[in-house]
Amino acid sequence: MPDNLHFKTVTDLQSLLAGGEISSVELCRELIDRKEAVDSKIQAFNSLDAENVLANAEASDQRRANGELRGPLDGIPIGLKDVIAVSGSPLTCSSRMLENFVPPYDATVSRKLKEAGAIPFGRLNMDEFAMGSSTENSAFNTTFNPWSSDRVAGGSSGGSAAAVSAGSVPVSLGSDTGGSIRQPASFCGVVGMKPTYGRVSRFGLVAYASSLDQIGPFGRSVADVAQVLQSIAGHDPKDSTSIEKAVPGYPEILQNPIGPWKLGVPKEYFEEGLDPEVKACIQKAIDWYADQGCEIQEIQMPNMDLAIAVYYIIATAEASSNLARYDGVRYSHRSEQSEDAIDLYFKSRAEGFGEEVKRRIILGTYVLSSGYYDAYYLRAQKIRTLIREDFMKAYESVDALLTPTSPFVSFRAGEKNEDPLAMYLSDIFTISANLAGIPGISVPCGFNSENLPIGLQILGKPFGESDLLAIANSFEQAHDFSSQHPDL
């Protein structure tokens, strides 16, 4: 069997499977062993049904032997953030509120992956109900960064990023409400992509903020991300926000080099608060694009400084509404100490939700309350429109924007827990893309002096995933950052 199978890209694994050098069963056994060997240090997984994984792998091998492959992902394991429904598999959202919930149906992305022959490989840890930037808000475990065991993996999709980075699974799915794919991808040194809002169905994704949430892939390479996106993208009548728009052939686009591009650099992303080593690394990447013949333009986005405030009004308001369904009456945690129906509601929610979830529900309920709706929520929605217009104006003169993914590298566990605002600022460079509904990708672009990964964020036009993947792939192919792995 080939060495370091757990660090192979999907493209590598497809070649090995096609050539008969490995079977899907052998691949999955290797990854199960890898998970058992390293996950006690990382804590990326909430659960893994090894027996079911191997049964699916055996079925894939049988299809391959019979010449009945379902697609290029057949036999490839993929981890799923524990906020995406998989029939018969626990769906906890890393919360005591849903600790014992098992969905009887598949999310659309889960169904599409199964139809493509991919093998669901475990449920990955996250900040509770996707509310956080470090995966320290999980009710079960903190997920640590494979590059440094005392640092966070980012959030809220920290488990999805860390599992890929650690070699426990080749690709995974996360969700991104304000940077929850791109920021942990940057922290863990992997590729992570948030598609355009409406490009990927949200049916079966437990909602945090419905107008911001989007499912997207993590991978070791841009090509891996392109393959997974190809399988999960497309219109879904079960999701009223899904857009009926043709899906290009993303993997094929990467086979035909294009460019150079016109690339914008928003000055608002390079001001106070940006770590000097991160700034220098991003500037080096920008200079590389310039050397390849890309036209680099400085862009002004005057409403960017309002993005954090707007996001935490809109996101918490929608969370307050979405999480009202967890009342202890139906399928969520039910308090055993209640005296009547009202007491049941209060105590079930008090026991089931963690502190950060409670904080955001309270804030969201406040901004939606009588007398404050116009002053906060309605005004935030108007400014959200201005932020989107900033992007649309920028795209009149450039094809995409280059920015840091995060203002700093992964921070130490516990470092920001006593200051929620400092934690919220972790997402200062990512949330505007969710407010505008545009796609974004984070690709590894270097390391700081402590050998911690730094991510380059590329933001594109609505439904401009093809350009983003091509721009990111051109950088990746000229550098070896994506091929470097943590020593566990």
Q: Distances from the Cα of 281 to the Cαs of 29, 278, 406, 456, in angstroms?
A: 38, 5, 12, 9
- Give 3-state DSSP helix, strand, coil % of the chain, rounded to 5: 45, 15, 40
**What is the 3-state secondary structure of 201-245?**
CCCCECCCCCCCCEEEEEECCHHHHHHHHHHHECCCCCCCCCCCC
Residue showing tokens 């804590």: 43
- Out of 180, 406, 432, 474, the active site residue is 180
**CATH code, 5-258+464-483:** 3.90.1300.10
Beta-sheet pairing, 119-124 with 262-266: unpaired
Burial of 120 (0-12, 13-18, 19+ CB in 10 A): buried
CA atoms within 13 A on the CB side of 165: 38
Dihedral over Cα of 175, 190, 244, 88: its sign:
negative
Q: Give percent of the chain with pLDDT exceeding 90.
A: 92
Annotated catalytic, 180?
A: yes
Annotated catalytic, 156?
A: yes
CA 192 from centre of chain: 6
Residue 294 has which token pair? 């890309």
Query: pLDDT, tens digit, for every residue of 400-453?
Result: 999 999 999 999 999 999 888 889 888 999 999 999 999 999 999 999 999 999
Residue 26's pLDDT is: 97
Residue 163 has which token pair? 């599992």
**pLDDT of 371 higher than 90:** no
Residue 483's pLDDT is: 86
- Give residue 304's region: left, alpha or beta (phi > 0; psi -120 to 50): alpha
**pLDDT of 166 higher than 80:** yes
Query: pLDDT, tens digit, for every residue of 206-258?
Result: 999 999 999 999 999 999 999 999 999 999 999 999 999 999 999 999 988 78
Q: Give percent of the chain with pLDDT exceeding 70.
A: 100
User: The whole model's pTM is what?
Assistant: 0.97
CA 289 from centre of chain: 25
**pLDDT of 471 higher than 80:** yes
How many Cβ atoms are within 10 Å of 51's Cβ, its own excluded? 8
Residue 272's pLDDT is: 83
What does residue 360 show for φ and ψ, rounded to 5 degrees? -75, -35
Cα 275 from Cα 408, distance rounded (Å): 5
Cα 149 from Cα 463, distance rounded (Å): 37
Annotated catalytic, 41?
A: no
Cα 350 from Cα 459, distance rounded (Å): 39
Find residue 176's DSSP bridge partners. Answer: 214
Residue 326's pLDDT is: 95
Residue showing tokens 């440094």: 148
Pick from 103, 320, 355, 346: which is nearest to 208 by CA? 320
| Packing angle of the helix pair 307-322, 379-394 (nearest 10 deg) | 120
Average pLDDT, the chain: 96
CA 486 from centre of chain: 20
Compute the average pLDDT of residues 4-12. Answer: 94
CB within 8 A of 124, min separation 6: which ones?
44, 45, 46, 79, 80, 81, 82, 157, 159, 160, 163, 172, 174
Residue 231's pLDDT is: 98
Query: pLDDT, tens digit, for every residue of 73-91?
Result: 999 999 999 999 999 999 9
What is the pLDDT confidence band of residue 284, given thresholds at 50, 70 and 90? very high
Query: pLDDT, tens digit, for every residue of 102-157?
Result: 999 999 999 999 999 999 999 999 999 999 999 999 999 999 999 999 999 999 99
| DSSP 8-state class, residue 195 | P
Compute the average pLDDT of residues 384-402. Answer: 98
- Out of 8, 23, 24, 81, the active site residue is 81
Domains in the chain: boundaries: 5-258+464-483
- Out of 23, 60, 148, 156, the active site residue is 156
Does residue 449 or residue 483 have the better pLDDT?
A: 449
What is the pLDDT confidence band of residue 364, given thresholds at 50, 70 and 90? very high
Compute the average pLDDT of residues 303-312. Answer: 96
